[in-house]
Amino acid sequence: MAKIIVLGAGLVGLSTALLLARDGHDVTILERDSAPPPDLPTAAWDGWQRPGVGQFRQVHFLLPRWHAEMRLELPDVLDDLAAAGGYRTNTIGMLPTSLTGGVRPEDDRFDTITARRPVVEAVLAAVVARTAGIRMVRGVSVTGLIAGLEPMAGVPRVVGVLARDVALRADLVVDATGRRSAVPTLIQAIGGQRPAETRAESGFVYYARHFRSTTPGERPAATATLLSHFDSVSLLTLPCDNDTWAVNIVASARDKAARALRDEHIWQRVISQYPH
């Protein structure tokens, strides 16, 4: 059994902790944001603040490959997500039959269950909370890495972290803090070489809104592909949990006029000009 520290309690960090703990390891999760998720995952959208996650309430969709891996390794997470109102769907079945010819038996590999990001994270956090071998610590920022006394071939060996000026030792430290991670800089601080990183701007900006059906169980019928391209923008429509769905206008980051879409009234006027 190894003693492991996971940095970050997002979707990746929580899933990593579950997999390691169920493999028999002792896992501690350190999360910078202090607020815990609400007791009910369905309350996470309105009531949970996660300033450390830049796109916490942006459009998310859980892909079939994720679903296949979770079904194999963490099926109880899928069950809990379904119980919290997650939307079970098939990405082929989401498209009009005029385009696909309908769903075939072998298309079950395109099955998934999806939900809004706060709901998914709250479900994962609840599973983590009842899993033996995991300790969750929120409201803690890691300020440094601890290097072992004997480097391996001249490369510092990380044996723990500094948090609140307290040294926490571990056999392995997993960085799951995302693209804004401070770990590359912390590695340099202990004499290591900064990891190679590749970053590129996508060139696109999302302007999204979420909607809830007034009739339980009713969702908009698929009349086109999920992603539709027009002259200067694209429209992305995705299902979510608990009779909600998201509509997203995708524009160029260089399109200054499109920034007016941050105003919900302008957004509504623009969306009304496109086919439904």
177 and 215 inside one domain: no
178 and 217 inside one domain: no
Q: CB atoms < 10 A from the CB of 162, how many?
A: 15
178 and 263 inside one domain: no
129 and 193 inside one domain: yes
pLDDT in tens, 86-129: 999 999 988 888 888 999 999 999 999 999 999 999 999 999 99
Where is the domain boundary, 199, 226, 244? 199
For residue 12, the enclosing domain spans 1-60+116-199
pTM across the whole model: 0.92
**Tokens at residue 32, please?**
């910078």
Where is the domain boundary, 152, 176, 199? 199
What mean pLDDT value characterizes the chain? 92
Where is the domain boundary, 199, 232, 253? 199
3-state secondary structure 109-123: HHEEEECCHHHHHHH
Q: What DSSP assignment string belongs to 127-155?
A: HHHTSTTEEEEES--EEEEEEPSS-BTTB
Give me the number of domains the chain comprises: 2
Q: Within a domain: residue 84?
A: no
43 and 144 inside one domain: yes
192 and 238 inside one domain: no
35 and 121 inside one domain: yes
161 and 241 inside one domain: no
236-242 average pLDDT score: 92
138 and 251 inside one domain: no
Q: Given this model, what pLDDT does residue 221 score?
A: 61
